[in-house]
């Protein structure tokens, strides 16, 4: 079971995908905890299926972003919650994948 995320009016939820042989994660944002959880679950389901399907994601953050990734290349996914008033470009602690 996934932990329950709290929703407040000014928060954003970032879904980070770690892609094999790529040093930096692919990130998309959602405004609602329920939407972030739905994206997370759909990615986990796609990874478990083992098929090389493509998942398409669109970000709801400040920057318009659309990305497509082959699910067989995704090695990890996480959700982070951040306050919308946070300044600076730093990322919250998360996971980091090293290319093998």
Q: Average pLDDT for residues 75-79, to the nearest whole number?
A: 94
- Is the pLDDT score of 92 beyond 70? no
Provide DSSP, 23-83: SS-EEEEESSHHHHHHHHHHHHHHHHH----EEEEE--SSS--EEEEEGGGEEEEEEEEEE
> Could you tell me the two tokens for 56?
């398409």
DSSP 86: -
Percent of the chain with pLDDT over 70: 73
- Is the pLDDT score of 86 beyond 70? no
Q: Could you report the per-residue pLDDT of 11-37, keeping only the tens digit for each? A: 899 999 999 998 899 999 999 999 999
> Could you tell me the two tokens for 24?
């930096």
Would you state the pLDDT for residue 98?
47
Q: What is the model's pTM?
A: 0.71
Min mean pLDDT across 35-39, 47-51, 61-65, 76-80 is at 61-65
Q: Could you report the per-residue pLDDT of 54-71, keeping only the tens digit for each? A: 999 999 888 888 999 999
């Amino acid at each position: 079971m996934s932990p329950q995320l709290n929703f407040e009016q000014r928060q954003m939820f970032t879904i980070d995908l770690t892609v094999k042989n790529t040093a930096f994660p692919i990130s998309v944002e959602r405004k609602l905890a329920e939407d972030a959880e739905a994206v997370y679950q759909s990615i986990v389901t796609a990874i478990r299926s083992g098929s090389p399907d493509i998942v398409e994601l669109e970000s709801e953050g400040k920057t318009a972003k659309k990305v497509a990734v082959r699910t067989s290349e995704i090695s990890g996914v996480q959700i982070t919650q951040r306050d919308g008033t946070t300044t600076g470009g730093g990322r919250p602690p998360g996971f980091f994948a090293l290319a093998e």
